[in-house]
Structure formats: structure tokens, C-alpha cells
Amino acid sequence: MPYRPRNRRDLERARRAADAARADGRSAMDVALAQIGAAFDRASALNGFKLRVEWFLQLGADDPAVRARFGARAELLRGRSLGAAVALVERRWRDERKAFQIASALGGGNRLSLEVLSELRLVLRLMRFKQMQAEFSRIIVDLCDEPAAVAAE
């Protein structure tokens, strides 16, 4: 199967679902529901998450949005190796997820911190997979250098 850009995959998946429903001879309403279901399923949500992370990676460490979103977390990772950073973020993500579940059960909770940790977790795991230890250190220094970096949490 040829490479397809990530931003087109959701649309193609929805079209395939609609085509399959039409081929089964379903009603127009069933075809529309199949297309909507494919457009908003779990695969689509994961794809959207990965698109958001790719966007932050393309912006780079100098972008104010990246500094605002990840600056406070980068301070926590300063002076650590990539492996230690992955382990720390993984632990914090698990703790934050548990805290959010408890807060949600009690009628509250804010997902922003959990989302930032999820994005950072994916970025660090990708960097570890690609063996980007030197780039990791440079990016952390770049994110931490700006005194105006304020967390968007």
C-alpha cells in the first residue's frame, strides 16, 4: 500500500466505510452513520493526536506556542538523559492519569496537564526510537533558555 499523508487517512477511512455500506445495500441513513462512525472512531482520535504532536515538532523549540506548552515540563527534564526523561514522563503521566480519573469521578478534573504529558511522552518515545540523544539535550536547553517561557497549564 503506498504512503498516504496522515492528514488524509481519516477522510479515506470514512469514504471506505461509506462505500462498504453502499455495497451492502444499506439505506442512505445507514451509509451516513457508517461514514460518521469511521470519521470519529478511536483510530481517528489517535490520528488527530499524532497530527497535533507532528505540528508541535514542525514548529520547533523556538516557537512561542511550543515554549508555552512544554517549557515547564522541559525544566523538569533539564540535566537528564533521554532514557531518564522517558521514565520520568511515563511515571508522571501515570500519576496524572490516576489523579484525573479520581477528579472526574468526583465531578471535576482538567485534562490539559494530562494532554501535555501525553504529547511529551510520544515525542520522547519517538526521540528514543530514533536515537536522538544529542538533539534531546539541545532542545531541552533551547526550551529552558527563554525567561519568558510560561507554561500553558
Burial environment of residue 42 by CB neighbours within 10 A (0 to 12, 13 to 18, 19 or more)? exposed
**What is the per-residue pLDDT across 112-128, written as a single tens digit (0 to 9) for each?**
889 999 999 999 999 99
**What is the per-residue pLDDT across 29-78, written as a single tens digit (0 to 9) for each?**
999 999 999 888 888 888 888 888 888 888 888 889 888 889 889 999 99
The answer to the question of residue 120 being in a domain is: yes
Q: What is the pLDDT averaged over residues 79-86? A: 93
* Cα separation values, 19 from 6, 45, 126, Å: 21, 21, 35
Confidence (pLDDT) at 97: 94
**How far is it between the farthest Cα atoms of the chain?**
62
- φ/ψ bin of 146: left (φ > 0), alpha (ψ from -120 to 50), beta (otherwise): beta
Number of domains the chain contains:
1
> Among candidates 66, 74, 85, which has minimal Cα distance to 152?
66
Q: Would you say residue 99 has pLDDT above 90?
A: yes
Confidence (pLDDT) at 44: 86
The answer to the question of residue 5 being in a domain is: no
Q: How confident is the model at residue 146 (pLDDT cuts 50, 70, 90)?
A: low
Q: How confident is the model at residue 149 (pLDDT cuts 50, 70, 90)?
A: very low
Q: Residue 105 belongs to what domain range?
A: 60-145
The answer to the question of residue 93 being in a domain is: yes
Confidence (pLDDT) at 151: 46
Contact 141, 59 (CB under 8 A): no
pTM for the full model? 0.72
The answer to the question of residue 49 being in a domain is: no
**What is the per-residue pLDDT across 64-76, written as a single tens digit (0 to 9) for each?**
988 888 988 999 9
Radius of gyration of the chain (CA): 19
**DSSP state, 58?**
H
The answer to the question of residue 37 being in a domain is: no
